[in-house]
A and B are shown apart, each in its own frame.
Chain A
Amino acid sequence: MLALENLMAARYQMALSLGFHIVLSCFGVAFPAMIFVVHRRGLRDDDRTALDLAHKWAKAAAVLFAVGAVSGTILSFEMGLLWPELMSTFGDVLGLPFALEGIAFFVEAIFIGIYLYGWNRLPPKVHLWTLIPIIASGVFGTFCVLAVNAWMNAPAGFELGPPAADGSLVVTDVDPLGAIFNGALWQQFTHMLVACYMVAGFLTAAVYAVGMLRGRRDHHHRLGFTVPFAFAAVGALIQPVIGHVAGMRLASDQPSKLAAMELSAHPEARAPLWLGGVLVDDEVRFGIPIPWLGSLISRSGIDRTVPGLSEFPVEDRPPANVVHFAFQTMIAAGIAMVLISVWFGWRWWRARRDPASDPFRGRWILRATVAAGVLSVVALEAGWTTTEVGRQPWIVFGVMRVEDAVTQAGNIWISLVAIVVVYSAMTVAAAAVLRGMARRWRESGDVDLPTPYEIPERR
């Protein structure tokens, strides 16, 4: 019983810290590219507004990157603190991408320091180009982290020897490159990288959409909307293709995950696609079936079989309802983002042909963009829920179960509570600080925000 409580507390703590960090990591990965475009435009066109916008984004990024860096550090702690058996058994299998990610993190942190403090200190061209290593290391860091996660879904690069006397796994023939370049790597990496650009892009555009809804429709807001939106919209349009390719892999690599996503109780050819619905006693209730579409989408052929949960022992099945709900939430949010992207893209294209038309006119496109900002985070979290819960009960699919990896240290709920409290406070404070920055920028018109250290006179 104690062990079970520990496992749940550890899983919630991991889910919470990951779910928090992943939003910030999107900014760390994708925001620098958006800053680069705006900064470059400012230098090229001698556009004061664009330069100021890039400078403000750099300052906001300093806050977001700091929270991202510390919440990322916590995750590296938790890999060991919560899942010591995973690390002590497979540390030398999955460790190398983490070590490479550490190097990427170094380069990123160094150039962030140089870029943030380089304003008006470095030659303008050199300063602009210090963003490039940040962008590159963001992509490489994503590659490394996703290599580990993909490995957990499609383990490779090792053999299992006869188990030790205490029943624990014995790993032999470790091939770290085989572990990195596992079967799920490229699909998961590209899927997440594009997601980073969508989240950072739509959320940033949403901030300026709110500003325009409040009547601030100047060049500053239009630029702050358009550049991130363009990144996100391109991402939204290619993401369904990448996601589909990633899903194709599941039938062979992780059939139990696919069965849960499709809410499929029994293996079935010409399987329907269930919209909504819950699985109760192997029966789908309250769902809308679309005939044949399940087989067609997940297996590329109506006569192909979608795996069913009944193929797996009860103790090896993921919680299908959670996975199915999360999966369809992601899909629905993704479709909505495609539609919003196309809508604004059409308005923008029309405005280019006809200068009299304004792509920002009206309120609905702005409201839709705010919705896209929210939906991007919903899709991100739902997607992660799908892949992580869908892998259950395994931490390394088919090899090691979560209950065999979890720490033997007791009272994990204490650290869970501590993380909940600290992360909630940090979220509130970060929001307050960012809003305060925006308010001071509006009031002063000056990019600089001096820190008020001077102690006020006591009255």
Chain B
Amino acid sequence: MTLVDVIAAMLFVGVLCYALFGGADFGSGIWDLLALDRPEAPALRHQIDRSIGPVWEANHVWLIYVLVFLWTGFPEGFGAIVTTLYVPWLFVGLGIVLRGAGFAFRKFAASWRSARLYGVVFATSSLITPFFLGMIAGAIASGRVPADGSGSLVTSWTGPTSWVGGVLAVLTCTFLAGAFLAADADRAGDDHLAAWVGRRTLVVGAVTGVVAVAAIVPIELDSETLADRLQGRGAAALVASALSGAASLWLLRAQRWVWARVTAALAVAAIVVGWGVAQYPDLLTDSLTLEEAAGARATQIGLVVTFAFAAVTAVPAMLWLFVLVNRRDWAVGEEPGDVS
């Protein structure tokens, strides 16, 4: 294992965490959209505020982490990705701005009407952003980003694999968030909401599974390299994903929310790992290897030190945050019971 491999692994940790934590975040916004004006909507929206309110900013730092590790560790590849995929990145950027602002503004909106306006902004951008992120992943994975960044501004990210990536990203986000929200609602004591979300998550999970299997066809047609590697060394991860997904469907049906959340996360993580394994040793499939894209060695050592620094600062803090938000008194109500 070379130093470049270590940097690539650290970069991939970021991709994986963003897919899971950022994904559950985006998915919560998609649930917000799906709830429309149903009777369960107000309770669901309060639940979404409680579930992602304390964590959404931290969850989105994973994207910044990925970007800075990409441009610091693999500057050439980064330049190619942002130049060729300018358009979808622009949508992602605007989506992130609208989503974060919409979410924060809605929390303190004074009237139902303004809360609905900010809510629509938050929810639709929660749908659009992961879709374009998935399209970007599809474009890179299918070998449509040339190393010199000269790819077409449009057709580079509209190939079959990009569509697969976009649709799968939206579905996995929704599935993950459903499993998380059901568990959170249950912990907060709202059995009705937990069951309501749980039933729908079951449907989303089933659809995600069907789409994931059907995706083999367009990927096979679009990119030989990716298809070969997915069926070769990526196969184990995909099988693991299918098994975890099936398990989570069964657990959702049995209303075992806590374990359903774990298996749902495993299913999504395994898909992402499958892609990562299939991507290796390329940064840009068919056009640029990690080794070729790598920057200066001194800086890569600096990145390892940075990663170690994060492991002793950000990681314990993040664990504490997750422990806190999973405590029962953080799950219920709006800053209850004055202590002073």
Residues of A within 8 A of B (CB): 48, 51, 59, 62-63, 65-67, 69-74, 76-81, 84-85, 87-93, 95-96, 98-103, 105-107, 109-114, 116-122, 124, 133, 171, 174-177, 407-410, 415, 418-419, 422, 426, 429-430, 432-433, 436-437, 439-440, 448-456
Contact = CB atoms under 8 A, between A and B. Distances in A.
Given A70-B96, A103-B314, A133-B317, A80 B78 contact: yes
Given A117-B330, A174-B296, A449 B303 contact: no
B203 interface: no
Given A110-B318, A409-B83, A430-B105, A440 B110 contact: yes
Given A409-B83, A426-B101, 14 more contacts: A48-B340, A66-B104, A80-B67, A81-B89, A87-B82, A92-B75, A96-B299, A98-B68, A100-B306, A105-B61, A106-B310, A106-B318, A418-B94, A429-B105
Contact of A91 (B41, B78, B313, B336): B78
Nearest to B65: A102
B86 A92 contact: no
A455 B112 contact: yes
A74 B110 contact: no
Contacts, number: 269
Interface in B164-219: none
A103 B108 contact: no
A450 B309 CA distance: 39
Interface stretch (B49-57, B230-238, B250-258): B49-57
A81 B64 contact: no
B115 A452 contact: yes
Contact of A96 (B63, B118, B306): B306
> Chain A interface secondary structure, helix, strand, loop or mixed?
helix
A95 B108 contact: no
Interface string B67-78: 111011111101
18 contacts: A62-B104, A66-B57, A69-B100, A73-B60, A74-B97, A77-B89, A79-B71, A81-B90, A103-B314, A106-B58, A113-B55, A119-B335, A120-B335, A407-B86, A409-B83, A409-B86, A429-B101, A453-B42
Closest 3 CB pairs of A and B: A95-B72, A92-B295, A91-B75
- Max chain B Cβ within 10 angstroms of own Cβ: one of A84, A105, A118, A436: A84
B96 to A, nearest CB: 5
Contacts of A176: 296, 298-299, 302
Interface residues of B, number: 87
B106 interface: yes
Interface in B278-322: 295-296, 298-300, 302-303, 306, 309-310, 313-314, 317-318, 320-321
A450 B334 contact: yes
A90 B103 contact: no
B321 A124 contact: no
B93 A77 contact: yes
Nearest to B14: A102
A90 B295 CA distance: 9
A428 to B, nearest CB: 11
A38 to B, nearest CB: 15
B267 to A, nearest CB: 26
B108 A59 contact: yes
A369 to B, nearest CB: 26
Contacts of A67: 100-101, 104
Given A92-B75, A103-B306, A408-B149, A451 B83 contact: no
B89 A110 contact: no
B329 interface: yes
Contact of A107 (B78, B112, B314): B314
B6 interface: no
B72 A73 contact: no
B109 interface: yes
A317 to B, nearest CB: 29
A91 to B, nearest CB: 3
